Structure 1
């Protein structure tokens, strides 16, 4: 009779070691940081002539404390900032070699160092100082439609619907905001009407992509053309003939938050804006919380990643996608109000100028994350405003170069230079039960 067997743990070294394989080492990000750092050092620090100075204004008349313009030696400052960027690149290389992740602070600090080095070089020897606070304030303002458009794309694509119609939703929101604000002579009434127009375009996207299972990219392109045609026709036949009644929207007034708006640099940039900017803060915060910290967000993301598994646990896949798309359309329509009531402009044909497609690029660069989309949109807004400021101070840089920079960054990001970028797995795939 054999002795009873017992389950005993295998002694260490008695069998083959079963360890989890280590992830592969990727040096893409450190190499990218290093190349940019070297270019910054050479172009902004070593090549320019010495003896020049750069001046930055950082204060306004409404601040608690008036700070005098800051003057720094151009060549030395650019060299120091470029060396800081190279040190961060070296740290990134060391972290990658040890398979250790670095936080978001590293690319942020690296970008700030390189941008400051560039601004120092751009203002070297110029009679006009670089208005640093005004540059940041204008960048945030110009990023408004990009932020709302990127948030709309994030909502839709997280649920599995590709929203290429952001351009049309922005344009529809701008049109209805201008008309309603002109009729009521209230900019805030136009602000309420704008998301309704965006949601209507979103409803058409839902109808054709979910109900009739048409290719979502094709539907988005067609909707953009449709909105351009409808708004152009109404502009020519109605708005242009009676502009005083239908196309003279009042402008949203700038709202100064007491005390906060008087903090130097931070106050004018963040707390001396229109109501649309403050709404943008709230929308970004709420979407970030709801998408990643709530049951609703978990269901929305599960529908975009694995709709069949979501259906098996009782989640209505197409209903969830429909609601997310309508909400995304409303968010994009709200961003369209920037072009009319926020900027104080009358509606014009195709006045959005392709901002919807730039918002799609910001969404991808932000990795389908509300905070990431905000950061990417701010980068685009900064480049847009920077080429205006550089023209004012007389820097001989073609404006096209500055407008091209964010797209180059986006290409590098999509190519995996700053990490893996993966869209939701079920994006663009119709679901039939």
Structure 2
């Protein structure tokens, strides 16, 4: 592969974990929950995926462990935020710190394992885009099903209509008989499963091992991608592609012989995330009740 193909392939690989988690975060935010704990879901999913693959001897089974961990974090967050009405931002930040501490404490180096690659004949031979899009680890192709399924769930199903109503105007939704907090909990669980899968993909597909704090703030970049995309699915995925490309350039430019400040390269994806949240959050209107707790009878 030439330099352009290498950079594009790297960008796609780095985008994929973000895309899984961002799909879930988009669903959660459309239901009214700004899920700060997506970082904990991804990091916990990455850790248990490696541990699960070691215990079972199957990297593919490790993906299921990652999904289960994401669901567990989501269940805890949903219980505290939407049953006990604890401040959702406090709950999310606490879970992020807790999972970081637990994974660092429990971390032991284990033999790396990766899921198999799935190379699509003919398409993988296309110039420039072929290796990047059609020569990936097999879980990457799950996005082909998950993205349209997520769009349909939010925009075409009755559940999605009720979830969007819970995120836009929970008081009106409650009057029509919608259980607002139940829909928010369900959206958060979907986010947990997808973010856990994203973290698991990072460890058992992209890297093949676990390192302390290996998500390195990717959960926060996911939140920025949703804001960057104006709370639309295609915009969210475009944000993931942008941040993935920035991360790929950070890794590729020194290898190609370009002498740039390494600290600046490391900071580039996070600077883009900050700029996205600064400019696009004001330009695009999010769900009307995003991040606002709902208590029946209180407006």
Task: Give the TM-score taking structure 1 as reference length.
Answer: 0.64
- Residue 405 of structure 1: how far off its partner (Å): 4.3
1:99-110 matches, cutoff 5 A: none
In structure 1, distance between residues paired with 2:223 and 2:240: 10
1:284-433 matches, cutoff 5 A: 284-416=147-279, 420-433=283-296
In structure 2, distance between residues paired with 1:369 and 1:402: 28
In structure 2, distance between residues paired with 1:180 and 1:262: 34
In structure 2, distance between residues paired with 1:206 and 1:182: 30
Name 1:95's counterpart in structure 2.
none
Number of residue pairs matched?
Answer: 296
1:103-182 matches, cutoff 5 A: 131-182=3-54
Cα contact 1:181–1:249 (8 A) shared by 2: no
Q: Write out the 4+ residue segments of structure 1 that deviate beyond 6 Å after TM superposition.
A: none
Name 1:94's counterpart in structure 2.
none
In structure 2, distance between residues paired with 1:409 and 1:281: 26
In structure 2, distance between residues paired with 1:387 and 1:305: 38
- Residue 344 of structure 1: how far off its partner (Å): 4.0
Q: What stretches of structure 1 of length at least 5 have no aligned partner?
A: 1-59, 61-129
Does residue 262 in structure 1 map to residue 125 in structure 2? Answer: yes
Does residue 218 in structure 1 map to residue 90 in structure 2? Answer: yes
| Pair 1:409–1:230, CA change in 2 (3 A) | closer
| Pair 1:406–1:228, CA change in 2 (3 A) | closer
Name the Cα RMSD after superposition.
Answer: 2.0
In structure 2, distance between residues paired with 1:329 and 1:322: 10
In structure 2, distance between residues paired with 1:179 and 1:396: 38
In structure 2, distance between residues paired with 1:403 and 1:422: 30
Higher relative contact order (CA 8 A, sep 6+): 2
Name 1:201's counterpart in structure 2.
73
The structure in which a higher percent of residues are helix is 2
Q: What stretches of structure 2 of length at least 5 have no aligned partner?
A: none
Task: Give the TM-score taking structure 2 as reference length.
Answer: 0.92
In structure 2, distance between residues paired with 1:418 and 1:332: 22
Cα contact 1:383–1:403 (8 A) shared by 2: no
- Residue 369 of structure 1: how far off its partner (Å): 2.1
Structure possessing the higher radius of gyration over alpha carbons? 1
In structure 1, distance between residues paired with 2:111 and 2:266: 30
Does residue 191 in structure 1 map to residue 63 in structure 2? Answer: yes
In structure 2, distance between residues paired with 1:348 and 1:412: 28
